[in-house]
Amino acid sequence: MKPVTVPQNSLSTTKLNLLDLDRESLAAYFTGIGEKSFRASQLVQWIHQKGVTDFGLMSNLSIALRDHLQASTVIRMPEVAYDASSSDGTRKWLLQLDDGNRIETVYIPEDDRGTLCVSSQVGCALDCSFCSTGRRGFNRNLTTAEIISQVWLATRLIDEEKKPGRKVTNVVLMGMGEPLLNFDNVVRAVRLMMDDFAYGLSKRRVTISTAGVVPAIDRLGDVLDMRLAVSLHAADDELRDSLVPLNRKYPLPQLMEACRRFIDKQNARSRITFEYVLLDGVNDSDRHAKELINLVKGIPTLVNLIPFNPFADSGYRTSPAKRVMRFYKILADAGITTVVRRTRGDDIDAACGQLVGKIEDKSRRHRRFEEPRIGMQI
C-alpha cells in the first residue's frame, strides 16, 4: 500500500479540519496519535452518515479521544450565504468560504433520482467561451473539505424539507471549475462520496466532468472506477479550439484516445458521457451531428445534448427546439444513446456561475451607490 499523506489543514484554522480527510487518511491520522485505525470508520460514519459534528455526541469514541479531537481538530464547512428554490424543484445554494470567496451547489430533483451538482474550484482557468464561470477567471482550488461539505450540507438541507423521495442519489462534479485540475482533493472527496461508511454512492452514481485534461484522465482511470463525462461541444479541432481553449493543448485525437484508455480500465458496463452544449448557428447543424457520430465511433457513448443557458454578453443564442430535436434524431438514428437535458432552474440562475455573478454584481452596484468616490474599486 502506498504511504498516505495527510492533507494540509483547511484555510480557515490552524487546527486540522477532519472534512479534509477520507477514511484512509483518517486511519493514518489515528495511527499517528496512537489510536487504532478502525477509529477512522467510526468517525467517518459519525460525520458523513449521521451528520454529527459535536465530538461529545460520538459515544463509541473514548472520552480521552473526544477531548483530543476537540482540542486539536475541527469539523468546519462553508456557510450558506444564499438559498434559492425554483418553481421546478431545483434548489441552489451560494456557499461562503472562509476567505470570502463564494461557490455554487445545485440540487436537481427528478422522478427517479436527485442529482447534486458540485463545484471543485473557485472560478475556472479554462475560459470556455460559452461558460459564465469562465468569465470570472480562476481564484483557487477548493479543499477536500470544501468539496465534500457541499454534499454534507445538501444532504441535511434536503432532509429538512421532509418531502418524500427528495434525497441526493447522484453527484456530478460539473459545477464551477475543472475537477481534474484539482485532482488530489477531488479524488479524496469522491472516495468519501462512495464510501459505505459515509454517503455510500455507487460508482455509477458519481461522475467527474472534464474539458479534456488528458494526463489527468489517464491518472483518474488508474485510481478510481467511476463515471466520466467529457465537455466536448464540437467534433472538429478548429471549432473546439474557439469554444474550449484547452483543446489547443490536448486536441481531439489525443482526447479520444484518452477516453478509450479510460474505458479499457473500467468495468464492462462503462461508457463515456459526452456533454454537448448546442449553440445556435455555431455547432448545431446536421454536419456537426455527423462529425460527432464519426468522432465517438468505437467508444461506448452517451451524448448529453444541453440547450445553452444564456447569460449577459455571452454572444451566443440557444438553438431552436426544432434544431435540437433534429440534432438528436441524427444521433439516435445512428445508434448513439442520446438525451436532451431539460433546462432547469431558469428562475434562480441555476446555470453554472450565474448566481455568483448575479450576487457579486449586485454587491458591486450597492458599493458604488454607497461609496461613489471609490468608483470601481471593491
β-partners of residue 301 are 272
- Among candidate residues 104, 146, 178, 275, the one labeled active-site is 104
DSSP string, 44-74: HIIIIIS----GGG-TTS-HHHHHHHHHHEE
Q: Grid coordinates standing for 216?
A: 489527468
Name the 3-class secondary structure at 18.
helix
> At which residue does the C-alpha cell 465511433 appear?
297
Whether the CB-CB separation of 73 and 46 falls below 8 Å is answered with no
E-strand stretches of 142-270: 170-173, 206-210, 227-231
Active-site residue 257, yes or no? no
CB distance 72 to 15 below 8 Å: yes
The three state secondary structure string of 116-160 is EECCCEEECCCCCCCCHHHHCCEEEECCHHHHHHHHHHHHHHHHH
Q: Of the residues 117, 124, 131, 352, which is catalytic?
A: 352
Maximum alpha-carbon separation in the chain: 68
Which grid cell sits at 97?
A: 468560504
Can 104 be counted among the known catalytic residues?
A: yes
* Nearest alpha-carbon partner for 150 in 185, 125, 181, 180: 185
The SS3 call for residue 231 is strand
Q: Which residue type, as a one-letter code, is found at position 308?
A: F
What is the separation, in whole angstroms, between the first and last Cα of the chain?
Answer: 49
Look at the alpha carbons of 252, 204, 207, 185 in this order and tell me if their dihedral is positive or negative: negative
Quickly list DSSP for 174-216.
-SSS-GGGSHHHHHHHHHHHT-TTTT---GGGEEEEES--HHH
Strand partners, 212: none
Check the CA dihedral 149-154-159-164 and report its sign: negative
What are 123's strand-pairing partners?
Answer: 138
Task: Give the separation between CA 208 and CA 223, rounded to whole angstroms.
Answer: 13
Q: Catalytic positions, please?
A: 104, 352
